[in-house]
Structure 1
């Protein structure tokens, strides 16, 4: 095969892979937003952090419990805890985990919020409700 024939074959495949990746990312974001809107959450804890492969893929492992059943998941997340492999300072950090009430294994950890953020939000909601009731 000549280089031109190879290019005619590889370029459409590469385009399909990129489009599929973008679609999957958008679809996952909608799921996360939907789970967040449903507001079913528990506090999860980061249990491990690993970097794998030549491309240094960051994986955060976490656990959470729903109705007495413990779940463990991992996620590829390099933004917030990129130094955790070296320092281990993220191990034990707690964040809310939003989950599907019908399938608690369908969940995600919200790295942008902390347990303290949720406590503050709940206090504000309680104060607001007390003002309305009075």
Structure 2
């Protein structure tokens, strides 16, 4: 038997209660446990507790009602976050491309802008030569 203290979302002193499970459970796993009224309540495993501490506790040790499988939820959230990051990168790149196109148009019309645009382009060449020197 394995024993755990949990953090409950709706009880102030939840960590003073200890719960058990037949199989090991990872820290930060989401579980359902009975609250102080015997109703199911969501909790997070805070820490593993030694058997002698659990059995000498002031409260009765109760088993988890169930362990919540969060794999699908976490996979969805990771995919959503990854999409948001890729969209941000694409927006940044699109803004850069539009800005460069605007610079090109003005460089065709204005000598000062043409000089600045050539200076900008030379920094790009310096950047790629640095990457080649470092094997990237």
- Same fold per superposition (TM over 0.5): no
* TM-score class, shorter: 0.3 to 0.5
Query: TM-score, with normalisation over the residues of structure 1?
Result: 0.34
> TM-score if structure 2 supplies the norm length?
0.34
Write 1 or 2 for the structure with the bigger share of strand: 1
Structure showing greater Rg: 2
Q: Which is richer in helix?
A: 2
